[in-house]
Amino acid sequence: DQQVKQNSPSLSVQEGRISILNCDYTNSMFDYFLWYKKYPAEGPTFLISISSIKDKNEDGRFTVFLNKSAKHLSLHIVPSQPGDSAVYFCAASLNTGFQKLVFGTGTRLLVSP
C-alpha cells in the first residue's frame, strides 16, 4: 500500500525554466511533508519541508505547495539549474511516538543547459 506516490519517474526541463515535481498521499494523519534531493551513490539531502497546517513554504529557489483537500503537494524550482539534476524524494512524516518518514519512489529531474 503506497501511502506516498510520485507518479512521474522522470522530468526534463531547460535551464532557467520552472521545474514542478508532484507528490500525492493517502494518509490524512501525516503532519509534515519533506523533500529530499539525492545524487547517485550519495545519501539524500534535506531540501525543504512544510507543516500540514500550512499551504506554502519558500526557501530561495525552492517552494513547496500543499493542497490538503487534494492530498497533493508539489515542489517548484525556479529558475532550474543544471546542478539541480538529481532524484527528488517526497516524504511524509507520521507522528507515531517517533518521526516515521514514508517515502515516495522518487522523480529523476534532468535540467539541460
Partner 1 sequence: DGGITQSPKYLFRKEGQNVTLSCEQNLNHDAMYWYRQDPGQGLRLIYYSQIVNDFQKGDIAEGYSVSREKKESFPLTVTSAQKNPTAFYLCASSFLGQGNQPQHFGDGTRLSIL
CB of 34 to partner 1, least distance (A): 6
| Three-state secondary structure string covering 45-111 | EEEEEEECCCCEEEECCEEEEEECCCCEEEEEECCCCHHHCEEEEEEEEEECCCEEEEECCCEEEEE
When asked if residue 75 is in the footprint of partner 1 (CB under 8 A), the reply is no
Stretch touching partner 1 by CB under 8 A, among 12-20, 66-74, 77-85, 86-94:
86-94
Binder among 7, 14, 81, 100 for partner 1 (CB under 8 A): 100
Task: Compose the 13-42 pattern: x for residues touching partner 1 by CB under 8 A, - for all others.
Answer: ------------------xx-x-x----xx
Compute φ and ψ for 17, nearest 5 degrees.
Answer: -85, 175
Question: Residues 94, 102: contact at Cβ < 8 Å?
Answer: yes
Compute φ and ψ for 9, nearest 5 degrees.
Answer: -70, -25
When asked if residue 104 is in the footprint of partner 1 (CB under 8 A), the reply is yes
Residues contributing to the site for partner 1 (CB under 8 A): 4, 9, 31-32, 34, 36, 41-46, 49, 51, 89, 93-95, 98-106
